[in-house]
Amino acid sequence: MKKGSFLAALHSGALVFDGAMGTALYERGLLYSTSLDHACVSKPDLVREIHRAYVEAGADVLTTNTFGAGRFRLEPHGLESQVHEINLAAVALAREEAGDKAWVLGSVGPTGLMLKTVEESRYPELQAAFREQAAALAEAGVDAILLETFRQPEELELAMAGVKAGTRGGLPIVACASFDAFGTMSDGSGPEQVGRRMVEWGASAIGVNCSDGPAGVYEMSTRMLEAGLPVVAVPNAGLPHRVEGRLAYRATPEYFQLYARRLYKAGVHGVGGCCGTTEEHIRKIAAASRMVGGGEGVGRGGGMREERISQAPLPAPGIEVVPTHAKGSLGGALGQRFVISVEVNPPPGLSLDKALAGAKLLRDGGVDVINIADGPRASARMGNLALSVRVQDELGMPALMHVTTRDRNLLGLLAHLLASHELGVKNLCVITGDPPKMGAFPDATPVYDTDSVGLLRLIRGLNHGYDPGGKPMGAATSFFCATGAEPAALDLERELDRLALKVEAGAEMVMTQPVYDPEVLHRFLERSDALGVPTLVGILPLASYRNAEFLHNEVPGMNIPEATRERMRAVGGGDAGRAEGVLIAREMLSSVRERVAGAYIMPPFGRYALALDVIDGIAR
């Protein structure tokens, strides 16, 4: 059995739920006209095979094949006397495949009755049916009860009362509603109202399942966040259509990955798949979990598991670990002076001349280090190692090279790191990286063998003389590692928890996303200062009102105050817009100058002179 409490893990977030069971059985030859739940007894190998595929894809949570295993749904098949048998068999199959890798939740679906046509005098009978099924699931040893696809609030209330009675209040209840195309349940109530009701009825967690595709479920589930309980989102693979007599779903696994990351970053605690989803959809959700999660039980399947990357707490025999202050001019400068880093990106073509000219301009203007991104916004560019080497060799200033986990598997990452060290590029900014769907080549395949936390642990192992498998290498690297953070993240608690994991894994400096509100940064620093690592505040001078609106509305982690956008609206674009953007950036930097170790400036559209305008006159 998986260690730890399911509910505690759900509170920690970024859990991966499994995918569809009914459509998976249908694809394996079972007819919808039969009882799919009875397959737990009649065709256990099929059910076991589906559970196994989801665990191998990276699911942290398996749901039992019992959605229709209540008395009312079994009755048309003449199976109402087998409620106890079917539910016990279903849990045993799920538990067998879950092992110590996944929690098991007992699925309970609605009765299939339209309550408007049911006399209220029969409500106790419905509640008793929910109680009967929940009691069987509890007896079999599920970790929680999952109420799925409820469209009628009054039936959901009956189900929750029945489940609490059947389990004697001893199990968490995850209550999921399903909304129509207008975002309402059968009585017209929206997700905010439904979420509050679920809390009142005693849910341990709430969420949305089925409905339509990821986009609609994203909207509904994020509107439930205000209820204050963990939220899960389990969308269909879009709406089905019929192809040669069979139902087919159109939402691709890659589309699910994009929305899974958005859901996690918005504060949703668990993401999975409902009708039409397969193990490939879950594999992509697990990849998204690795991008934003980290730690025990989060997104560890479908790729390199975190525990396989040695943490190497002690140096290998004969190895002396290099301390931060001795790691070149950047490590030595931190805490000694206000450090200025400016981003210069490699080109999309073959020539580095423009980038090198910009770096020279910045060096002559007093910038300390050149920051070089790794395919920012999933764009196709020259590899940043080439520009990093030339900046250091030709301009005599340190480069801070970004390394993402998006494009290389573990072996590729290791090879890239060792080559960088050999070429003298030892300052790294370790990040997970934007998914390819955000760029101009959406068909490119993301790798995400690990995430930024896992890569930091790998590098810490190299710095202690160990390879990723924990084998002594006979020598050690001396990488300096920075990492990123979002002070304006919607779920600041999650962001701080993840930053703590990064620092624990070896991050020696924090570089924030651009910040435009001093109070946002101060609130972040009040919490992050306890981690004991220096912070460079992200500064991105706005270029125009249009640029400000795009960043605020379209770029995750960016939050530009209305007053700032209004200032940019008043000046528009052109020279006036750029001048106002620089003034806003200078004001921001001046207001936080005493709270941070330096600034990380991202000049818009390669206008490097704007970075010098921002720091002009700033006390160093």
Q: Residue 171 belongs to what domain range?
A: 6-302
Cα–Cα distance measured from residue 571 to residue 563, given in angstroms and rounded to the nearest whole number = 13
As a whole-number percent, the residues of the chain with pLDDT over 90 amount to 72
In a domain, 357, yes or no: yes
Q: How many CB atoms lie within 10 A of CB 536?
A: 25
Q: Which of 116-120, 296-300, 430-434, 585-589 has the lowest mean pLDDT?
A: 296-300
CB atoms within 10 A of CB 433: 26
Which is more confident, 238 or 453?
Answer: 453
Q: Are 408 and 416 in contact (CB under 8 A)?
A: yes
303 CB neighbour count, 10 Å cutoff: 22
Q: Can you tell me the distance from the alpha carbon of 105 to that of 90, in angstroms, rounded to the nearest whole number?
A: 11
pLDDT at 305: 34
Distance, in Å, from the CA atom of 407 to the CA atom of 476, rounded to the nearest integer, reads 25
Beta-bridged to residue 466, according to DSSP, are: 472
Structural domain includes residue 213: yes
Amino acid making up residue 584: I
Q: Do 198 and 346 belong together in one domain? A: no
Please, what is the Cα angle at 207 between 276 and 129, to 5 degrees? 85
Dihedral, 116, 122, 126, 129 alpha carbons, nearest 10: -150
On whether the CB atoms of residues 548 and 516 are closer than 8 A, the answer is no
Question: What is the separation of C-alpha 549 from the centre of its chain, rounded to a whole number of angstroms?
Answer: 24
State residue 239's pLDDT score. Answer: 54
The CATH number of whichever domain residue 285 belongs to comes to 3.20.20.330
545-590 pLDDT, tens digit per residue, is: 999 998 888 776 678 999 999 999 999 999 999 999 999 999 999 9
Model confidence pLDDT, tens digit, residues 345-365: 998 889 999 999 999 999 999
Q: Are residues 288 and 329 in the same domain?
A: no
Q: Across 64-78, 234-248, 461-475, which has the greatest mean pLDDT?
A: 64-78
- Regarding whether 315 and 297 lie in a shared domain, the answer is no
Are residues 42 and 117 both part of a single domain?
Answer: yes
Burial 53-84 (b: 16+ CB within 10 A, else e): bbbebbbbbbbbbbbbbbbbbbeeeebeebbe
Torsion sign (Cα): 8, 9, 15, 19: negative
pLDDT of residue 378: 63
In a domain, 620, yes or no: no
Same domain assignment for residues 351 and 411 = yes
SS3 state of residue 50: helix
| Boundary-marking domain end, from 276, 302, 328 | 302
d(CA 330, CA 511): 14
Q: Do 259 and 352 fall within a single domain?
A: no
CATH number for the domain harbouring residue 365: 3.20.20.220
Which amino acid appears at position 367 of this protein?
V
- Give the pLDDT band (50/70/90) at residue 476: very high
Give residue-wise pLDDT tens across range 367-416.
999 999 998 766 778 999 999 999 999 999 999 999 998 888 889 999 99
pLDDT tens per residue, range 289-346: 887 754 333 333 333 333 334 444 578 888 999 999 999 999 999 989 999 999 999 9
**pLDDT tens sequence across 402-414:** 999 888 888 999 9
Residue 430: helix, strand or coil by DSSP? strand
| Residue 608 sits in the same domain as residue 551 | yes
In a shared domain, residues 292 and 332? no
What sign does the dihedral 603-604-605-607 (CA atoms) show? negative
Instruction: Give the whole-angstrom CA distance, residue 130 versus residue 160.
Output: 8
Burial class (CB in 10 A: 0-12, 13-18, 19+), 519: exposed
Q: Would residue 16 count as lying in a domain?
A: yes
| Domain match, 298 and 317 both | no
If you search the block for the tokens 């080109």, which residue do you land on? 347
Q: Decide the pairing of beta strands 241-243 and 246-248.
A: antiparallel
Total number of domains in the chain? 2
Rounded to whole angstroms, what are the CA distances from 251 to 21, 215, 236, 259, 533?
A: 17, 10, 8, 11, 42
The pLDDT score that the predictor gives to residue 1 is 55
How high is the pLDDT of residue 310? 40
Q: String of b and e for 134-167 (b: at least 16 CB within 10 Å)?
A: bbbbbebebbbbbbbbbbbbbbbbbbbbbbbbbb
Residue 494: the pLDDT is 83
Do 227 and 197 touch, CB atoms closer than 8 A?
no
125 assigned to some structural domain:
yes
Last residue within a domain, chosen from 302, 328, 343: 302
Q: 438 falls in which pLDDT band (50, 70, 90)?
A: low
Instruction: Identify whether 155 is part of a domain.
Output: yes
CB 384 within 8 A of CB 352: no
280 and 337 in a single domain? The answer is no
Q: In the predicted model, is pLDDT for residue 35 greater than 90?
A: yes
Which amino acid is present at 25? L
Does residue 362 fall inside a structural domain? yes
Name the pLDDT band for 437 (thresholds 50, 70, 90): low
pLDDT at 298: 37
Same domain, 446 and 501: yes
- 443-459 as b/e, with b when 16 or more CB fall inside 10 Å? ebebbbbbbbbbbbbbb
Residue 1 lies in a domain: no
Residues 295, 366 within the same domain: no
Strands (DSSP E) along 442-584, which ranges?
A: 480-485, 509-514, 535-539
Backbone φ and ψ of 331, nearest 5°: -60, -40
With contact defined as beta carbons under 8 Å apart, do 271 and 263 qualify?
Answer: yes
Select from 257, 286, 302 the last residue of a domain: 302
